[in-house]
Amino acid sequence: MIVKSVMKSLTPAFALCLLVAGCGGPKAVRGEDVAGLDDQAMSTGLDKRDLQKLLHQNMEALQTSAVVKRWEGENRPTVAIMPLRNETSEHIDGELEALVSDVETTLVNAGHVRVVSLERQGQVIEEVRKQYGDAFDPAAISRWGKQVGARYFFTGKVFTADERMSGERRVQYFLFTQVLDAETSDILFQYKSSLTKAIVK
């Protein structure tokens, strides 16, 4: 009787929330509210943690590479970060744009180079994006380098291999990165990191 009178005095939306919560239905939580929430895979799709792990491996390899030693000898040359290409069926373009910012942050904080922001070079970035939609033409690198004042370009792509069998699924993801010389289009650094996600019985 008391419960009924209380429920009548509540707004319908709030009453529904109380009923759902009382029945143990799903609820929204923050990462810090649930220990290990970011550790569990929700699907075989790429999430923020996956992409950051792949990028971290690539950036660690870059920091110990010959191209960084070359940069140190050139007294902080300019590097432009090109968009990372999405060669998967995942809708991760927004996440890849965030990764570009992470690459910029890593390079700026390492202090080996000066980073040119392509975001401020509207016409060039549109040209780069258009080019990236088709077959990549290394000859365009020199022209882009002159347009944005970059001596080197950092570029990369994410691609995948997907297998299914007997109701199980395994997806292997790869992040491939390169550093290119803007004048010669020579590849000065190249690395590929990988991870696997799966649904198993």
Q: Are 115 and 170 part of one and the same domain?
A: yes
pLDDT tens by residue, 113-130? 999 876 655 555 666 656
Structure token digits, residue 163: 């297998």
Q: Are 175 and 85 part of one and the same domain?
A: yes
Q: Are 134 and 163 part of one and the same domain?
A: yes
Q: Are 171 and 88 part of one and the same domain?
A: yes
Q: Are 56 and 114 part of one and the same domain?
A: yes
Positive or negative, the CA dihedral 86, 91, 94, 99 is negative
Residue 79: burial class (beta carbons within 10 Å; 0-12, 13-18, 19+):
buried
Q: Are 129 and 90 part of one and the same domain?
A: yes
Question: Quick one: pLDDT at residue 22?
Answer: 52
pLDDT tens by residue, 179-193? 999 888 899 999 999
Give the CATH number of the domain where residue 195 resides. Answer: 3.40.50.10610
Closest of 112, 119, 110, 118 to residue 77, by C-alpha: 112
Question: Quick one: pLDDT at residue 42?
Answer: 45
Question: Quick one: pLDDT at residue 73?
Answer: 94
Q: Are 11 and 97 part of one and the same domain?
A: no
Q: Are 107 and 70 part of one and the same domain?
A: yes
Q: Are 65 and 78 part of one and the same domain?
A: yes
Domain that holds residue 170: 42-199
Question: Quick one: pLDDT at residue 3?
Answer: 45
Closest of 104, 131, 132, 127 to residue 117, by C-alpha: 104
How far does the chain reach from its first CA to its final CA, in angstroms?
Answer: 48
Q: Are 18 and 115 part of one and the same domain?
A: no
Q: Are 92 and 153 part of one and the same domain?
A: yes
Report how many domains make up the chain. Answer: 2
Q: Are 136 and 155 part of one and the same domain?
A: yes
Q: How far apart are CA 100 and CA 44, in angstroms?
A: 23
Question: Quick one: pLDDT at residue 7?
Answer: 45
The low-confidence residues of the chain, meaning pLDDT below 50, are: 1-10, 13-16, 18-20, 37, 41-42
198: CB partners within 8 A, 6+ apart: 44, 168, 169, 170, 171
